[in-house]
Amino acid sequence: MNRLAFQFGLLSTGLILLASIPASAQGSSGSLVRIQGAQIPRFEMDDADQGAFEAGSREGLKLALTRQLDRCKDDKAVWNFAGKKISQKRWCTDTANWFLSKLSQVNSLNELLALARVELEWYRSTGKPDSGEVQFTGYFNPIHKAKAKREGAYQYPIYRLPSDLRSPYFTREQIEKGALSGKGLELAWLDNPVDPFIMQVQGSGTILMDQGDGKEVRLNINYAGENGHPYVSLGKVMRAAGIPEEYISLQGIRKYFLEVHPEEWSKYSNQNPSYVFFKQDADGPYGYSGAILTPKHSIAVDKAVFPMGAIGLIQTERPSVVSGDQAVAWKQFSQFIVAQDTGGAIKTPGRVDVYWGEGAYAEVAAGRTDRLGSLYFMLVPGNKKKLSLGSRGVPVPHPGRR
**Does residue 42 register a pLDDT over 80?**
yes
Residue 285, preceding bond cis, omega within 30 degrees? yes
pLDDT at 401: 22
What share of the chain has pLDDT > 70, as a percent? 85
What values do phi and psi take at 101, rounded to 5?
-70, -25
Closest CA to 368 of 332, 324, 337, 309: 324
Closest CA to 123 of 150, 91, 99, 101: 91
Mean pLDDT computed over 10-15: 34
* 325-337 tens-digit pLDDT: 888 899 999 999 9
Protein fold of 143-281: Ribosomal Protein L25; Chain P (2.40.240)
pLDDT band, very low/low/confident/very high, at 227 (cuts 50, 70, 90): very high
**Does residue 106 register a pLDDT over 50?**
yes
* 304-327 tens-digit pLDDT: 899 999 999 999 999 988 888 888
Q: Where in the chain is the domain with CATH 2.40.240.50?
A: 143-281
- Helix ranges restricted to H, 204-293: 234-240, 250-255, 265-269
pLDDT at 326: 85
Mean pLDDT computed over 377-400: 50
pLDDT band, very low/low/confident/very high, at 344 (cuts 50, 70, 90): low
Q: Where in the chain is the domain with CATH 2.40.40.10?
A: 25-139+295-379
pLDDT at 397: 28
**Does residue 19 register a pLDDT over 50?**
no
Mean pLDDT computed over 362-374: 92
* 351-361 tens-digit pLDDT: 999 999 999 89
Question: What rounded mean pLDDT belongs to the chain?
Answer: 85
Q: Collapsing DSSP states into helix, strand and coil, what is residue 6?
A: coil
Options 2.40.40.10, 3.90.320.10, 3.90.950.10, 2.60.120.260; CATH of 25-139+295-379 = 2.40.40.10
* Span between the terminal Cα atoms of the chain, in Å: 16
pLDDT at 54: 65
What is the pTM for the complete model shown? 0.83
* 157-214 tens-digit pLDDT: 999 999 999 999 999 999 999 999 999 999 999 999 999 999 998 888 999 999 878 7
pLDDT at 55: 66
pLDDT at 47: 64
